[in-house]
Amino acid sequence: MKSSKRIPRAGLLPCFTLALGAAWALPGAAQSVAWAGGMGDRALLVIDGRAQVMGAGSVAGGVRVLRVSASAVDYEVDGMRLRLSPGASGPVVLGEGVSGGSASLVLRAGADQLYHVDCKVNGRATAGVVDSGASQVSMSLARAAALGIDYSRGRPTSIQTANGSVRGWAIRLERLAVGSLELRDVDAVVLDADLPHLLVGNSFLRRFRVTSQDGQITLARSN
């Protein structure tokens, strides 16, 4: 029988919680959003009955527009990302930055009881381990350098572990693929610590429905 219980810890790093700043504050949740027409890089949206001409970055009625194209408008309401197309009966839920890839991923624990998975960070391949006990996607300084990540531009922070404080830099990954699942804009931390894998924590996992059964886990898109 499937369950949503927590995945066994990978044992690579004690659990930590890192606040990366407040989410985008929206003035209120819109009850309805409709596409009324396109104007190049802007769209005419009807939000709760009021017409609004909006482009990327515009905010009105609790709706923040993320992207406008000839075929769709991507927008955000209360942290949920949605896509609206001309003539559509309603928006499609994108999740929090969900991009390409398949609908689900199944991983079986290895002999070491870890859930190993091939990952790509901004298109560059690296070895990863899924660990729901970690609050963030995490990597070592050496791995960040190998992946071409300039972590020095990140926000300096420190992580408290059982062995003391560890220096870190809070960053955001433009793209992170875990197996066949890919997300955009994923919060991560680069640590001055010896991590043998990219640690796939809850800043990635929370965007999926995660179930565990008979030594394997399944990550599925919630939409």
What pLDDT score does 85 carry? 66
Contact call for residues 63 and 31 (beta carbons, < 8 A): no
State pLDDT tens for residues 164-205: 788 999 999 999 999 888 899 999 999 999 899 999 998 999
Give 133's pLDDT tier (boundaries 50, 70, 90).
confident
Contact call for residues 136 and 201 (beta carbons, < 8 A): yes
pTM above 0.85, yes or no: no
Lowest mean pLDDT among 109-118, 196-205, 213-222: 213-222
- pLDDT, mean of residues 85-98: 48
Contact call for residues 223 and 152 (beta carbons, < 8 A): no
What pLDDT score does 42 carry? 84
Contact call for residues 169 and 155 (beta carbons, < 8 A): yes
> Across all residues in the chain, what is the average pLDDT?
76
Report the alpha-carbon distance of residue 91 to residue 23 in Å, rounded.
22
Residue of higher predicted confidence among 88 and 24: 88
**Comparing C-alpha atoms, which of 32, 60, 33 is closest to residue 45?**
33
- pLDDT, mean of residues 70-99: 60
What pLDDT score does 164 carry? 78
Residue of higher predicted confidence among 32 and 186: 186
Q: Which residue has the tokens 């990635």?
A: 204
Q: Using DSSP, state whether 153 is helix, strand or coil.
A: helix
Residue of higher predicted confidence among 35 and 184: 184
What pLDDT score does 199 carry? 94
Q: Which residue has the tokens 């309805």?
A: 32
Give 87's pLDDT tier (boundaries 50, 70, 90).
low
What pLDDT score does 13 carry? 44
